[in-house]
Amino acid sequence: MSHPLGNPPSKIIAVHLNFRSRAEERGRTPAHPSYFLKPPSSLAGTQEAIIKPRGCRLLGFEGEIALVIGTRARQVRPEDGWRHVRWVTAANDAGVYDLRYADRGSNLRSKGADGFTPIGPRLLDATELDPDALRLRTWVNGEPAQDDTTDTLLFPFGELVADLSRLVTLEPGDVILTGTPAGASVVGPGDVVEVEVGDGRLSTGVLRNPIADADHDLEPWGAQPRTDRAEEESAYGSAYVPEPLLAEGLADGLRSVAVATLSAQMRSRGLPHMSIDGVRPVSGTALVGVAHTLRYLPLREDLFKRYGTGMNAQKRAVEELRPGHVLIMDARRDATAGTLGDILALRAARRGAAGVVTDGAVRDAAAIAGLGLPVYAAGRHPSVLGRRHVPWDTGVPIACGGALVQPGDLIVGDADGVVVVPPDLAEELVADCREQERQERFITEQVAAGESIDGLYPLGPAWRDAYENWCKGETQ
């Protein structure tokens, strides 16, 4: 394949996250840069097609600024890093998310396929450029997709060169892909991706690459394409529009009936243990969503550092939330330590969560109450979870307030409390709840008019005809 470098570099190094806009889109800001390698055989030039392997759905584009090393860099300082850059050009860090799982972290097959690193078309002399004043733009089918400038980088170019050179010698011709801004997304056959880098005076020209399908099936040996909702969300970025977890009609139906009525209807079906006992609203009351579970285990000091710190199960559970999820926490009904604070509650709200329920305590209760996120808890406590709890795992069946909750169960809450609703019963429960509540409106009117509850509550045969006539009037 033809590209402007001529001889292939010894290595291509790509930065995971570097533009502030991309970090905000991803919901995390790294303290230090991290990297992965792409093989030199992935290089391509302008006008060359990026080939999507058959069976893969999520071919992502990422417009990037590529640095080409000019002089050997080993253990250089950040203020000297830019001096080792000879050329600057445009690049597209393409990849298929369908194979990320197969080489998790290394991205070898997902981002290292032949032709997945087009660069060019022109090389700009780094000595004529201000590294903090470059503009990167990407278009898909002529429509703007990315537009950002290097004054928003988390890690300036000189710092990247210095950081890498502490342990990895950068040779002349090596390429550093310096990260992509917000707006990277998914393309398919027939689309055209264009990338340009410039400073208003000099330009790389437009790197143009059409997308095409492979002319053969992916061979059956080795890992096969596989995706899930998390990969789709990652691939589409800010353009991701997930399918709703709960059909809006059913959600509206559950909102329209009282938790007390749902509880009564489930009891009549032989399900008397569906309430999450002991929890009260910290903020909001109306709650309808789909359960995503988090389990805490009792504190064990020798295990807390391993399970309770870093990106632990508690934080993972929050980052796994999708719009419409209710985070359900099993804290063993121990409300003597916090299981949620204001920062994680804010993140849950930003993730689109419908609410949080914990049979433990919350801390920062006043701040949580100001978020507008429905939160139910068994109490309030100022301590962090290391006092009583170790966050252990997510997405597993749990016990919360005495109720068994499975991931995917429906959760409904109001001022009376919270109940778990089996998804396969939800529609008929809504219909029967509406009928029950209609009967109760009729009964309330009669009691208010002075009637005895004998034979009226619950509605008995003697009142059936009067009720049917009342219903006709209510529907007119």
Q: Does residue 92 sit within a domain? A: yes
Q: Does residue 4 sit within a domain? A: no
What is the mean pLDDT, run by run of 10 residues, along the chain of 476 residues?
84 96 87 95 95 94 97 97 98 95 88 95 97 96 95 96 97 97 94 96 97 92 87 80 83 95 96 97 92 95 88 89 94 96 93 95 94 95 90 94 96 97 96 94 94 92 92 76
| Same domain? 171 vs 257 | no
| Same domain? 255 vs 112 | no
Q: Does residue 284 sit within a domain? A: yes
Q: Report the distance separating Cα 164 and Cα 187, nearest Å.
A: 31
Angle at which helix 426-448 crosses helix 248-255, to 10 degrees, equals: 30
CATH of the domain at 80: 3.90.850.10
Q: Does residue 2 sit within a domain? A: no
With CA atoms as reference, report the closest residue to 36 among 96, 97, 108: 108
Q: Does residue 212 sit within a domain? A: yes
Q: Across the chain, how many H-helices and E-strands are there? A: 13, 26
Is residue 460 classed exposed, middle or buried when 0-12, 13-18 and 19+ CB atoms within 10 A define those classes?
exposed
Return the H-helix or E-strand segment holding 416: none
Residue-level pLDDT at 241 = 65
| Same domain? 208 vs 310 | no
| Same domain? 216 vs 267 | no
DSSP-based three-state secondary structure for 65: strand
Q: What is the CB neighbour count within 10 angstroms for residue 228?
A: 10
| Same domain? 60 vs 146 | yes
Residue-level pLDDT at 320 = 85
Omega within 30 of 0 (cis) for the link into 33: no
Q: Does residue 153 sit within a domain? A: yes
Domain boundary among 219, 239, 259: 239
> Max alpha carbon distance in the chain (Å)?
97
CATH of the domain at 378: 3.50.30.40
| Same domain? 122 vs 141 | yes
Domain count, the chain: 3
Residue-level pLDDT at 297 = 96
Q: Does residue 20 sit within a domain? A: yes
Residue-level pLDDT at 26 = 83
| Same domain? 456 vs 331 | no
Q: Tokens at residue 366, please?
A: 């006043």
By DSSP bridging, strand 43-44 and strand 117-125 are parallel
| Same domain? 211 vs 302 | no
Q: Does residue 6 sit within a domain? A: no
Domain boundary among 421, 440, 464: 421
Q: What is the pTM of this model?
A: 0.61
| Same domain? 177 vs 324 | no
| Same domain? 61 vs 41 | yes
Residue-level pLDDT at 71 = 97
Q: Domain range holding 438? A: 428-475
Residue-level pLDDT at 120 = 93
Domain boundary among 375, 403, 421: 421
